[in-house]
Structure 1
Amino acid sequence: MEQEIFNIISHGGDARGYSYEALKIAREGNIKEAKEMMKKAQEELDLAHNTQTKLIQSEINGRPLDMSLLLVHAQDQLMTAIAENSLIEQMINMCDEINQLKRRL
C-alpha cells in the first residue's frame, strides 16, 4: 500500500507542476502549448486518481487500509492538485480571451 500512496503523491505533484508551467506559458501568450501542457497534467491526475480508486476498491472488498499521516497527505495532495488544475484551466481560458481582446485593439 505504501507504494500506491507514494504514487498518488508523485503523480499529484507532477500534475501540479505541469499545470503551473501551463499557466506560465499561457501568460507568455502561447495558449496552444499551454493546453498541451494541461493535457500532461490531466494524464498525471488520471494516474493518481486511478491509484486512489484501487485503494478505495480494496477497502470496499474487505481489505481495510491502515490510516496513516502519509495516506492523509496523499489525499490532500491529490485534492489540491485537482482543484488547482481546474482553476488554472479557467485562468488559461482567461489568458486566451485577454490575448484575443488585445489583438483587436
Structure 2
Amino acid sequence: MGLIINGGNAKSSAFEAITAAKDGDFATADAKLKEADDFLVKAHNTQTSMLTDEANGKHAKVTLLMVHSQDHIMNAITFRDLAGEIVDLYKRLDNKK
C-alpha cells in the first residue's frame, strides 16, 4: 500500500504544482514539485525493500494489487516529470510578459 499511497500523493502534489504555476505562483509550484519528489522517495524506498526481499529469496505473490501498485508508482513518476516541464514552461511564458 505504500506504493499506492505515496504514488497517489506524489501525483496530487505534481498536479497542484501545475495549477499553482498556471496561476503564476511559482514558489508554491516549486514547493509542490519538491513535495512530490519527497513522496516518490518514500515510494521508491518501499519498492527497493520489496526488491531486496525478492533478491534474498523472499518471493512475493504477484497479485492484482501488486501489479496495480507498480503501475500506480510508474504513472506518478511520469506525471511528476511532465509537471516539472509544464511548470518550467509557465515560468518561461511569465518571463516573456
TM-score, L = length of structure 1: 0.91
Q: Deviations over 1:34-67 (max 9, x none)?
A: 0011101100010001000100000000101100
Question: What residue number does 1:11 align with?
Answer: 6
TM-superposed CA distance for 1:31, in Å, is 1.0
Match of 2:33 among 38, 58, 65: 38
TM-superposed CA distance for 1:32, in Å, is 1.6
The total of aligned residue pairs comes to: 97
Q: Segments of 4+ in structure 1 off by > 4 A? A: none
Work out the CA distance in 2 between the residues paired with 1:36 and 1:83.
Answer: 18
Match of 1:79 among 51, 74, 81: 74
Matched, 1:26 2:35: no
Work out the CA distance in 2 between the residues paired with 1:33 and 1:25.
Answer: 6
Question: What residue number does 1:3 align with?
Answer: none
Q: Secondary structure in 2 aligned to 1:67?
A: coil
Unaligned stretches of 5+ residues in structure 1: 1-5
Unaligned stretches of 5+ residues in structure 2: none
Identity of aligned residues (%): 33
TM-score, L = length of structure 2: 0.98
